[in-house]
Amino acid sequence: MRPLEGLRVLDFSTLLPGPLASLLLAEAGAEVVKIERPGSGDEMRLFEPRVDGESLLFALLNRGKQSLSLDLKSAADRARLQPYLDKADILIEQFRPGVMAKLGLGFETLSALNPGLIYCSITGYGQDGPKAQQAGHDLNYIADTGLLALSYGPDERPVVPPALMADIAGGAYPAFMNILLALEARRRSGAGLHLDISMTDNLFPLAWSALGQRAARGAPPGNGADLLSGGTARYHLYPTRDGRIVAAAPIEDRFWAAFCDVLDLAPELRDDRHRPEATLAAVTAAIAGQPASHWAEKFSGVDCCCSIVRDLDAALADPHFQARGIQRFKLKDAGGRVWPALPLPLAPAFRGSSEEILPSPPLE
């Protein structure tokens, strides 16, 4: 028995943050009913790539859920929704502040009828404050919180980060975590809660190193200047002769010493506090002088926290990740074909069966 079996979730959210949070709840055993607009449903259903008319990105986030198509402004559809509201343990919504209240679905209204309801609101800027009604996406949120300024690449060719940090680390994961805390609080008190999940608020812990630098030195580090954003030789990306990249993170002295031994770095450059720019230049030149295969062999078996950057195909083919079962879950598309499901950060004890095929919901 999975830990959340018997719990009922109503998910009014779209795109990524809310659907990923409810997917985690579903994977842990909860029954999730996804409320979608009539006709097109969740915008994610239109995203590419699509197979036989179905978006695989939508399927990755919504497997194992039910779908209920409702016009929330229609009295008849609201009547269909009411039994679900009465029995729900958890509600997730992702509208701008005040929208659910205007629809008669605000926390105060629903908790009066269902006092144990855990009501989770996920927004970009929170339920109050000057920016509460401002629209945005992940790139705006990391830009507004100072996180993007820490590492965006060369000024002449800035780089968009490879992961949606605000949506996942600032939205979906905090929502899931706070819902679990609210369930424990409800177990003790019997009362539900309104959870205000602000994706921007939740990005600041990701900048803990820069916040510490700011507190100690009076200013945050600049673009690529912090220890953990490439500002030193001990945490850096180094191009190889054949156009690959070495990801080197020998921060601690014992790893740094091993790294310097592999590179045969000159003794006067090993104390990187003395002439940090000279050390960085020497390491860069050394790694640029050989192909990635050379460095893969040299670093093999050496405890120095160095890796060759690989693409997703190579990562998924790694025997380690295969042994860990990263792709053991499967989902079935509308045509009956089976695809790898999205791996989720749940301990094996809390996951469903490895043999289970979990389809994405049709729009009903």
Where in the sequence numbering do the catalytic residues fall? Answer: 137, 167
In angstroms, the CA 271 to CA 273 distance is 5
Instruction: Mark 331-352 as b/e (b = at least 16 C-beta within 10 Å).
Output: bbbeeeeebebbeeeeeeeebe
DSSP three-state, residue 26: helix
| Torsion on CA atoms 100, 104, 109, 114, rounded to nearest 10 | -90
DSSP state of 286: H
Q: How far is CA 324 from CA 299, 318, 321, in A?
A: 23, 10, 5
Asked if 350 and 339 touch (Cβ cutoff 8 Å), the reply is: no
Residue 170 to residue 205: CA distance in whole angstroms: 9
What sign for the dihedral angle of Cα 35, 41, 43, 46? positive
Give the Cα separation of 126 and 83 in Å (integer).
Answer: 29
Radius of gyration of the CA atoms of the chain, in A: 24
Q: Report whether 238 contacts 288 (CB < 8 A).
A: yes
What is the distance between the alpha carbons of residues 356 and 115, in angstroms, rounded to a whole number?
35
